[in-house]
A and B are shown apart, each in its own frame.
Chain A
C-alpha cells in the first residue's frame, strides 16, 4: 500500500508537470492503451506506465500484459529521465528492451520535447502582474548568470593559457595540432612513395 501511495504521489506531480506543456497531453493520448513495464534491476523494482489523455498512470501491481518491458539499473533510469539524449541512453549496453519498443521510444520523445510553461503555472498562483515582474526578474538573473559564467570561463582559460602558462593556449594548441596533422600527412606520403619505389622492383623480379 505504501508503494501504491508513493507511485500515486509521483504520478500526481508528473502529470502536473506534463500539463505545463501544450503538446504533451495530445501526444500522450495517441499512446493510450499502451502498457509499458519498467524493471529496475538495481535496486530491484517493478512498475508499469500507462499513458493516456490525462497524462501518465503509474501502477505498481498491474496484472495485465505489457507491450514493452524496459530493464535497466536505477542510474540509467535517472539518466533517461534527466538526459536530453534519451534515445542514446536507451541504446546503452546496460539497458535492454523487450517487446514493441516503438511506444517506449515515442514516450521518451514526448518527455524529451517537454517545454514547460512555468509562467502559466506561476500566474495561476500569483496573478499576471506579479508573475510578469517575477518572470522578468528571473529571466534577467538567468541571462546575467549565463553571461557571467561564459565570461568567467573565458577569463579562466585566458589566465591558464596566456598569463600563468599552466596550460597551452587554444591558438598555440591549434597550431601544434595542425603541425601534427601535417607531419602525419607527410609520413603517409613518404610511406606511399617508399611503397611505390619498392613495388616496381618486386614487379620486375616477378617478371
Chain B
C-alpha cells in the first residue's frame, strides 16, 4: 500500500520545500503574526511607496461607477477603500482574504473610516473562489499571488468569475530590471527587513519568509505567460521602482 505522504507533491515556502497541503497553513501563521502591524510595516519597509503602487493599480483598473470589484488577498483594505469610493452606492466591492486575522483588521479599519454599504467581506481561497461565473468587472490581487499554493488554479478561478471584458490586475513583487539595483535590493531584503520585523512586530521569521517568497515568485515574463496560459488576453505589465514591483493586467476574452 502506498504511503500518501510519499506521493504528495511539494511546493516552496520561502526557500523551504513543503508539502502543498502545508503551505496554506504556514502562510496563515505568517499573516496571523503580522496582521496587527501590517500597515505600519508596509509603510516602513516600502518607505510609503506601496501607496503609489496601489494608486497606479487603481488607475489602470479603469473602474467605473456601478462596477462590481473583487479585491483578493485584500488584507487591510487599502484597495477596497479606494474602490468603494469609485464604484459608488450602485457598485459593490468584495474584500476577500483567506486569512481571518487580516480580514478582521481590514473590516475594522474600513468601518472606522466610515466605509460601509457597498463593501462586503468574504473569507475565501483564491484557488476556489466561491462566486458565480462572469460576476465581476474588475479583480485585483495585490501582494497576494506569491502566497498562493497553486497559482495557475487561482488565475483560472479568477478568469471564471470575471465578466467577459473584465480586467484582472496582479500587483506583486518581481525582479529588478537593473543588476546593481538587484544587489542593493537583496542586501536590503535579507538584512533590513527581518531586522525591522524583529524590532516592530517581534517576528523576524515572517519577514525573512517575505524576502524569500519574493525571490521564489515568477518574474515578469513568467507571470505574463502564466496569465496568458490561464486564458487572459492582452496581458501587459508595468514595472515600478525599477522592477521591484510589477503590475500585470489581463482581460477576459
Residues of A with Cβ closer than 8 Å to B? 1, 4-5, 8, 32-33, 35, 50, 52-54, 57, 59-65
Q: Is the CB of B62 within 8 A of A5?
A: no
Q: Is the CB of B52 within 8 A of A63?
A: no
Task: Collect the chain A residues with CB atoms within 8 Å of residue B241's CB.
Answer: 1
Task: Collect the chain A residues with CB atoms within 8 Å of residue B62's CB.
Answer: 62-64
Q: Is the CB of A4 within 8 A of B55?
A: yes
Q: Is the CB of B85 within 8 A of A33?
A: no
Q: Which one of A8, A52, A54 lies within 8 Å of B51 (CB-CB)?
A: A8
Give the size of the chain B interface in residues (CB under 8 angstroms).
Answer: 17
Minimum CB–CB distance for B86 against chain A, Å: 7
Given A32-B65, A33-B65, check contact A61 B240 (CB 8 Å). no
9 additional A-B residue pairs with CB within 8 Å, beyond A1-B241, A5-B52, A50-B86: A1-B52, A32-B65, A32-B88, A33-B88, A59-B58, A60-B59, A62-B59, A63-B60, A64-B64
Minimum CB–CB distance for A134 against chain B, Å: 33
Task: Collect the chain A residues with CB atoms within 8 Å of residue B88's CB.
Answer: 32-33
Report if B61 contacts A (CB, 8 A): yes
Q: Which one of B51, B59, B86, B240 lies within 8 Å of A63 (CB-CB)?
A: B59
Q: Is the CB of A53 within 8 A of B61?
A: no
Given A1-B240, A50-B86, check contact A63 B61 (CB 8 Å). yes
Task: Collect the chain A residues with CB atoms within 8 Å of residue B65's CB.
Answer: 32-33
Minimum CB–CB distance for B217 against chain A, Å: 21
In Å, the complex CA distance between A32 and B55 comes to 18
For window 23-58 of B, CB contacts with A under 8 Å fall at 51-52, 55-56, 58
In Å, the complex CA distance between A53 and B115 comes to 12
Minimum CB–CB distance for A21 against chain B, Å: 19
